[in-house]
Amino acid sequence: MNITVMGTGYVGLTVGTCLAELGNTVTCVDIDKKKIGGLNKGIIPIYEPGLAELVRRNVEKERLAFTTDSAEAIASGEVIFIAVGTPPGKDERADLRYVLAAAKEIGQKINGYKVIVTKSTVPVGTGDLVADTIRQHRKTAIDFDVVSNPEFLREGEAVNDFLNPDRIVVGTTSERARKAMEKLYAGIVRANKPILFTDVRTSEMIKYASNAMLATRISFMNEIAQLCEKVGADVKDIARGMGLDGRIGPRFLQAGAGYGGSCFPKDVKALMRTMQDNGMPGLILDAVEKVNEMQKHSIVPKVKQLVPHLKGKTIAVWGLAFKPKTDDMREAPSLIVIPALQKEGASVRAYDPEAEKVATSLFSDVAYFKTPYGALKDADCLVVLTEWNEFREIDKEKMKSLLKEPNIVDGRNVYAMSQMREMGFNYIGVGRGNGNRN
Ligand code: NAD
């Protein structure tokens, strides 16, 4: 099929490239000339495992192209994905200006029946706004359908998640659009990983409800972790004990330094606003958000338990990205922790396998190192903020010899507490209140 993807960010680039890999002819459009110029030279604007190779292969096979010319791309697409950003607006509602600008362009340039697919995460009712906008701007009464098809990929696992999704959700009541979407996803759907067809509004809500549920699990466990620290219990064992219950399951039960990224924080806030717009207080999501903020702010007090006076001290920070396998720092705990350490008078030595470039544009007064060991040298304490695998397999004796004091605040519970303490580290994790367990 001929596919057009409007917006070539994390989602648009991944979706477009994977659909090309499945044999479609895909044109990815973006208004960012630099990004498109770079992609046309083979420069991938984000770090995402496996994506660069897939882009190269599909460009070579002439199934994938990048352009800023939306007119031609819209005219040629049978299915047009809108995958532009929906950042939080001033009032924390999703800012729909990019989605509606894309819809306007589609309206102006539509030249025959097309399926318009909203891939961006959009509040319930946006499908109707997109359809109204296209109708307003089309020159003749050309027929089209607006379909909701939210994306569930995770940064760091984007390619695999798109090609092996747990489910594909499609919101449409049009039989014609349903057939087009079935054809599009035929190469991905498996018997146990179905396409769920529903109406547009329900589909829009499934995306927000899913993200909000995952964020709720994290905040719930972080609040349990806070209690563990007070009463002498271990949140890691609690997560294991809970996760073995088939009704609960083991995933998204890890306490840590709080969730971040481009999705959970903004989607939780946007869903809460939608509730409030509909006369509901949004009690659960309000608490989810508050606990998450508390958690991000709980790291520096832990550092101060080990290094009470931070003025003039040096703190090593491992992990700047909001999670492993990405260089994305949007809403990352490091954005709260580093300025708070600096405010107390500490200097920061940082290491992240991928996010250094992004971090440099955010923090000029941090010293960056090419290895985790480099960042440790003569530091008074190490703070772990992202659970990159290379931190798990690290040489702990070397860690100890490099640190000025063997102090660790493990904001992701990466290490076995008993082992670290036996080795002579002053170790504080998250929710590890009993002091002597794994
Ligand atoms: P992004 O900011 O990385 O990319 C958005 C792109 O759209 C930018 O390159 C921008 O220049 C471009 N753009 C804006 N207006 C345009 C227009 N009129 N025409 C063409 N291009 C235009 O955003 P993202 O992370 O890819 O997210 C896109 C959407 O997908 C959001 O709604 C997000 O919530 C959702 N989503 C994101 C993820 C994720 O992990 N990043 C996962 C699932 C869903």
Residue-by-residue DSSP string for 128-155: HHHHHHHHHH-SS---EEEEE------T
Q: How confident is the model at residue 62 (pLDDT cuts 50, 70, 90)?
A: very high
CB 15 near ligand 1, within 6 Å:
no
> What does the alpha-carbon distance between residue 383 and residue 391 come to, in Å, rounded to a whole number?
11
SS3 of 427, please?
strand
List of residues 6+ apart from 158 with CB closer than 8 A = 10, 14, 48, 51
Describe the strand order of the beta sheet including 64-67 as a list of residue ranges: 64-67, 25-29, 2-6, 79-82, 114-118, 144-148, 168-171, 195-198
- Residue 269 shares a structural domain with residue 174: no
The closest-lying atom of ligand 1 relative to the alpha carbon of residue 154 is 40
Q: What is the pLDDT of residue 193?
A: 82
The closest-lying atom of ligand 1 relative to the alpha carbon of residue 10 is 26
CB 211 near ligand 1, within 6 Å:
no
Give residue 135's region: left, alpha or beta (phi > 0; psi -120 to 50): alpha
In the reported structure, the alpha carbon of residue 345 is separated from the centroid of ligand 1 by a whole-number distance in angstroms of: 37
Q: What is the pLDDT of residue 138?
A: 96
- Residue 203 shares a structural domain with residue 174: no
Q: Token pair of 146, please? A: 């607006």
- Residue 142 shares a structural domain with residue 210: no
Q: How confident is the model at residue 90 (pLDDT cuts 50, 70, 90)?
A: confident
In the reported structure, the alpha carbon of residue 14 is separated from the centroid of ligand 1 by a whole-number distance in angstroms of: 11
pLDDT digits (tens, 9 = 90+) for 224-245: 999 999 999 999 999 999 999 9
CB 12 near ligand 1, within 6 Å:
yes
> What does the alpha-carbon distance between residue 204 and residue 363 come to, in Å, rounded to a whole number?
36
Residue-by-residue DSSP string for 43-97: --SS--TTHHHHHHHHHHTTSEEEES-HHHHHHH-SEEEE-----B-TTSSB--H
CB 36 near ligand 1, within 6 Å:
no
Q: What is the pLDDT of residue 434?
A: 67
pLDDT digits (tens, 9 = 90+) for 309-324: 999 999 999 999 999 9
Closest CA to 381 of 400, 397, 354: 400
CB 402 near ligand 1, within 6 Å:
no
Q: What residues pair up with 65 in beta bridges, in sequence order?
A: 27
Q: What residues pair up with 279 in beta bridges, in sequence order?
A: none
- Residue 192 shares a structural domain with residue 258: no
In the reported structure, the alpha carbon of residue 143 is separated from the centroid of ligand 1 by a whole-number distance in angstroms of: 26
Number of Cα atoms under 13 Å in the Cβ half of residue 393 = 3
| CA-angle at 116, arms to 201 and 328, nearest 5° | 80
Domain boundary among 198, 214, 237: 198
pLDDT digits (tens, 9 = 90+) for 249-262: 999 999 999 999 98
Helix (H) / strand (E) containing 28 = strand 25-29
Q: Pairing between strand 168-171 and 381-384?
A: unpaired
Q: Token pair of 363, please? A: 């923090």
The closest-lying atom of ligand 1 relative to the alpha carbon of residue 32 is 11
The closest-lying atom of ligand 1 relative to the alpha carbon of residue 98 is 15
Integer Rg of the chain from CA: 24
Q: How confident is the model at residue 47 (pLDDT cuts 50, 70, 90)?
A: confident
Q: How confident is the model at residue 190 (pLDDT cuts 50, 70, 90)?
A: confident
> What does the alpha-carbon distance between residue 276 and residue 197 come to, in Å, rounded to a whole number?
28
Q: What is the pLDDT of residue 436?
A: 45
CB 85 near ligand 1, within 6 Å:
yes
18, 28, 263, 381: which is the annotated catalytic residue?
263
Domain boundary among 198, 232, 251: 198
Q: What is the pLDDT of residue 226?
A: 97
> What does the alpha-carbon distance between residue 152 and residue 328 come to, in Å, rounded to a whole number?
17
Residue-by-residue DSSP string for 399-419: HHHHSSS-EEEETT--S-HHH
User: Is the confidence at residue 388, as pLDDT, over 70?
Assistant: yes
- Residue 79 shares a structural domain with residue 185: yes
Number of domains in the chain: 2
Count, residues in the chain: 438
Let me know if 115 is exposed, middle or buried by CB neighbors in 10 A (0-12, 13-18, 19+): buried
Q: Whose CA is nearest to atom 4 of ligand 1?
A: 9
In the reported structure, the alpha carbon of residue 145 is separated from the centroid of ligand 1 by a whole-number distance in angstroms of: 21
Per-chain mean pLDDT for the chain: 96
Q: What is the pLDDT of residue 433?
A: 85
Q: Whose CA is nearest to atom 10 of ligand 1?
A: 7
> What does the alpha-carbon distance between residue 134 and residue 101 come to, in Å, rounded to a whole number?
10
What CATH number is given to the structural domain containing 190?
3.40.50.720
- Residue 180 shares a structural domain with residue 226: no
The closest-lying atom of ligand 1 relative to the alpha carbon of residue 266 is 34
Q: Token pair of 369, please? A: 């190192």
Q: Which residue has the tokens 């950042």?
A: 87
Residue-by-residue DSSP string for 178-203: HHHHHHHHTTT-BTTB-EEEE-HHHH
Q: Token pair of 120, please? A: 């961006």
Q: Residue 277: phi, psi to the nearest 5?
A: -60, -20
Average of per-residue pLDDT across 193-216:
97
User: Is the confidence at residue 158, as pLDDT, over 50?
Assistant: yes
The closest-lying atom of ligand 1 relative to the alpha carbon of residue 12 is 26
> What does the alpha-carbon distance between residue 38 and residue 299 come to, in Å, rounded to a whole number?
38
pLDDT digits (tens, 9 = 90+) for 23-36: 999 999 999 999 99
In the reported structure, the alpha carbon of residue 6 is separated from the centroid of ligand 1 by a whole-number distance in angstroms of: 9
In the reported structure, the alpha carbon of residue 287 is separated from the centroid of ligand 1 by a whole-number distance in angstroms of: 28
Domain boundary among 198, 213, 242: 198
Percent of the chain with pLDDT over 70: 99
Q: Catalytic: 263?
A: yes
Pocket of ligand 1, candidates 5, 6, 10, 210: which has the most ligand atoms within 8 Å of its Cβ, to mutate? 10
- Residue 226 shares a structural domain with residue 271: yes
pLDDT digits (tens, 9 = 90+) for 316-363: 999 999 999 999 999 999 999 999 999 999 999 999 999 999 999 999
CB 86 near ligand 1, within 6 Å:
yes
Determine the straight-line distance between the first and last CA of the chain, rounded to whole angstroms.
53
CB 102 near ligand 1, within 6 Å:
yes
104-113, 116-125, 126-135, 427-436: least confident range: 427-436
CB 11 near ligand 1, within 6 Å:
yes
- Residue 256 shares a structural domain with residue 161: no
Q: What is the pLDDT of residue 189?
A: 86
- Residue 159 shares a structural domain with residue 282: no
In the reported structure, the alpha carbon of residue 155 is separated from the centroid of ligand 1 by a whole-number distance in angstroms of: 13
Let me know if 185 is exposed, middle or buried by CB neighbors in 10 A (0-12, 13-18, 19+): middle
- Residue 113 shares a structural domain with residue 211: no
Q: What is the pLDDT of residue 435?
A: 57
The closest-lying atom of ligand 1 relative to the alpha carbon of residue 121 is 32
- Residue 116 shares a structural domain with residue 207: no
Range of the domain at 170: 2-198
In the reported structure, the alpha carbon of residue 8 is separated from the centroid of ligand 1 by a whole-number distance in angstroms of: 7
- Residue 227 shares a structural domain with residue 174: no
Q: Which residue has the tokens 């008074």?
A: 380
Q: Whose CA is nearest to atom 41 of ligand 1?
A: 10
SS3 of 359, please?
helix
| CA-angle at 306, arms to 305 and 310, nearest 5° | 90
Q: What is the pLDDT of residue 438?
A: 46
> What does the alpha-carbon distance between residue 400 and residue 403 come to, in Å, rounded to a whole number?
5
User: Is the confidence at residue 437, as pLDDT, over 90?
Assistant: no
